[in-house]
């Protein structure tokens, strides 16, 4: 997650210390800015304005937002549902739809497969062929298969095929 800081050097140092062990990165072009009161808010960005004394709370807001970023919005049974990415088994393109499978339900998603691949890569969501992403946490077993392919057996017993190209990628990921 990228943020930018507009504040005094003293507050900046304290915030940098706080986020040192997280994967929050300070980026000039970040869309979320922590702005200390008294400094100008940049246009076209989301600004979180805080009093110098409340810098800790400002960082907490960012961390909370980061936690929420593990949620995926899915549509099923005429309603939208928020699900944690760790509950997802796999995502797949089915016709023109993008679907997401959890243990008990299939949801329709709005964005593209590439979007979810990029966003949840660090949470173990991995591309296994042109039309499927899998949650590696839901993989029970990797079975070697013919034609230099791999088959992933999921917790719910479903088998997913890793294409030859993505077999190489997966092997690199697992450091094989």
Partner 1 sequence: MFKKINIRNCLLSACIGLIIGILSIYSADSLTFKQGIESLLRSGSLGLLIGTVVEAITALLPISIAKPKSYFFINNLLAVFVTFLVVLITSSFYQVDFSDYKYQRFLILILLIVFIVNILEYYYYIRTNKKLDRFKRSIENRNRDEY
SS3 call for 9: helix
Of 40 and 175, nearer to partner 1 (C-beta) is 175
The binding track of 39-78 with respect to partner 1, each residue x by CB under 8 A or -, is: ---------------------------xx--x--------
Of 22 and 37, nearer to partner 1 (C-beta) is 22
Q: Residue 88 to residues 39, 72, 112, 125: CA-CA distances in angstroms?
A: 42, 9, 16, 9
Of 11 and 88, nearer to partner 1 (C-beta) is 88
User: Does 9 sit near partner 1 (CB under 8 A)?
Assistant: no
Which of 133, 100, 101, 128 minimizes the C-alpha distance to 117? Answer: 133
Binding residue (CB under 8 A) for partner 1 from 46, 103, 159, 168: 159
Backbone angles phi, psi at 169, to 5 degrees: -60, -45
Beta carbons of 8 and 50 less than 8 angstroms apart: no
CA diameter of the chain: 65
User: Does 117 sit near partner 1 (CB under 8 A)?
Assistant: no
- The residues binding partner 1 (CB under 8 A) are 22, 66-67, 70, 86, 122-124, 136-137, 139, 141-151, 153, 159-161, 164, 173-176
């Amino acid at each position: 997650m990228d943020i930018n800081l507009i504040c005094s050097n003293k507050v900046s140092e304290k915030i940098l210390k706080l986020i040192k062990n997280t994967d929050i990165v300070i980026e000039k072009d970040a869309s979320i800015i922590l702005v200390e009161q008294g400094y100008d808010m940049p246009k076209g960005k989301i600004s979180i304005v805080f009093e110098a004394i409340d810098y800790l709370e400002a960082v907490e807001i960012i961390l909370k937002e980061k936690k929420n970023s593990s949620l995926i919005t899915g549509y099923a049974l005429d309603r939208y549902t928020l699900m944690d990415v760790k509950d997802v088994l796999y995502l797949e393109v089915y016709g023109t739809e993008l679907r997401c499978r959890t243990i008990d339900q299939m949801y329709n998603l709005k964005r593209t497969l590439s979007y979810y691949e990029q966003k949840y890569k660090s949470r173990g969501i991995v591309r296994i062929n042109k039309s499927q992403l899998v949650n590696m946490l839901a993989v029970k077993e990797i079975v070697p298969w013919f034609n230099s392919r791999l088959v992933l057996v999921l917790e719910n017993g479903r088998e997913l095929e890793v294409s030859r190209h993505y077999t190489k990628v997966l092997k690199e990921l697992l450091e094989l």
